[in-house]
C-alpha cells in the first residue's frame, strides 16, 4: 500500500513538474515573442524617423536652394538696374557745343567773351595756349592747356560762383584781392589761386586753374594780368 501511495505521489509531483515546465516555456515564449515584437516595432520606428529626417533635410535643402536662387535673381536685377542707370546717365545729351570760332560761340551762348590770348601763364617752362571755346545757353567758356595744366575761363549773365565754375572743392583758403577796383574772390592754398570769381559789366566770371589741385595754381600777378585782359558782354537772345 505504501508503495502505491509513493508512486501516486511521485506521479503527481511529475505531472506538476511537467505543468510548471510547460507554463514556464509558455511564459518564456510569450516574453520572447513580446521582445521580438518590441524590437520590430523599434526598427519600424527608427526607419520612420530616418525617413522623416531625410524628407525634412530634402525640404530644407530645396528651400535653401530656392532662397539662394531668389537672392541671386534680386542681386542680378539690382546690378542690371545699376548698369542701366549708368548707361542712361552716359547716354544723356551733352549740353555743350565746341568751336574755335568766337563768333559762333557768342551767337550760340548769347555772351561774347574777349578772352586773353597773350601774356598767358607759363608753368614748368610750358606756356599756356588757347585750345577752344565751349558754349551752351547763357554760358561761354574759353579753355587753355599746356603740357601739364588746364585753365578754364567762363562767363554768364545768370550763373555765378560754383554753379558757373562747376568746382565744388573745399579749398583750405579763401581770400579777396582787388585789381583796379574789381573785387575778386580767390580760393587755393593762400599763395596760389586755383579758382577765382568776379563780376564786371553785369557778367559773372570764373577762372579755374588746375581746379582741386592746391599748390599748383596761379600767382596773384598772373591772375591780375588775366582779369585785366578780358571782357565780356551780352550780345542778344539765343535761339
pTM above threshold 0.75: no
| Residue 138 and residue 238 in contact, taking contact as beta carbons nearer than 8 Å | yes
Domain range annotation of the chain: 1-92, 97-234
Q: Which three cell numbers stand for residue 126?
A: 610750358
- C-alpha torsion sign, points 143, 146, 148, 151: negative
Q: CA 56: distance to chain centroid?
A: 40
Distance CA 41, CA 27 (A): 21
Q: Which three cell numbers stand for residue 44?
A: 519600424
Distance CA 94, CA 97 (A): 8
Q: Which three cell numbers stand for residue 166?
A: 562747376
Q: What is the pLDDT along the chain (239 residues), one digit of tens a residue?
A: 444 444 444 344 444 443 333 444 444 444 433 444 444 444 454 455 444 444 454 444 444 444 444 344 333 333 333 333 344 446 688 999 999 999 999 999 999 999 999 889 988 888 899 999 999 999 999 999 998 899 999 999 999 999 999 999 999 999 999 999 999 999 999 999 999 999 999 999 999 999 999 988 999 999 999 999 999 999 975 44
Amino acid at each position: 500500500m505504501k508503495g502505491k501511495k509513493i508512486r501516486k505521489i511521485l506521479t503527481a509531483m511529475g505531472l506538476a513538474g511537467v505543468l510548471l515546465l510547460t507554463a514556464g516555456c509558455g511564459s518564456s515564449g510569450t516574453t520572447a515573442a513580446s521582445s521580438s515584437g518590441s524590437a520590430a516595432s523599434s526598427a519600424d520606428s527608427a526607419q520612420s524617423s530616418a525617413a522623416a529626417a531625410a524628407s525634412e533635410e530634402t525640404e530644407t535643402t530645396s528651400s535653401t536652394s530656392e532662397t539662394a536662387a531668389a537672392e541671386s535673381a534680386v542681386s542680378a536685377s539690382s546690378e542690371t538696374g545699376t548698369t542701366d542707370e549708368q548707361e542712361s546717365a552716359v547716354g544723356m545729351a551733352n549740353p555743350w557745343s565746341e568751336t574755335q570760332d568766337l563768333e559762333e560761340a557768342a551767337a550760340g551762348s548769347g555772351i561774347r567773351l574777349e578772352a586773353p590770348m597773350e601774356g598767358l601763364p607759363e608753368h614748368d617752362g610750358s606756356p599756356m595756349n588757347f585750345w577752344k571755346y565751349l558754349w551752351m545757353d547763357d554760358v561761354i567758356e574759353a579753355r587753355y592747356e599746356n603740357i601739364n595744366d588746364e585753365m578754364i575761363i567762363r562767363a554768364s549773365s545768370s550763373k555765378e560762383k560754383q554753379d558757373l565754375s562747376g568746382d565744388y572743392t573745399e579749398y583750405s583758403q579763401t581770400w579777396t584781392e582787388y585789381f583796379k577796383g574789381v573785387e575778386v574772390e580767390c580760393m587755393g592754398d593762400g599763395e596760389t589761386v586755383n579758382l577765382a570769381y568776379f563780376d564786371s559789366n553785369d557778367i559773372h566770371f570764373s577762372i579755374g586753374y588746375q581746379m582741386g589741385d592746391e599748390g599748383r595754381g596761379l600767382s596773384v600777378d598772373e591772375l591780375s594780368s588775366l582779369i585785366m585782359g578780358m571782357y565780356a558782354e551780352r550780345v542778344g537772345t539765343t535761339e
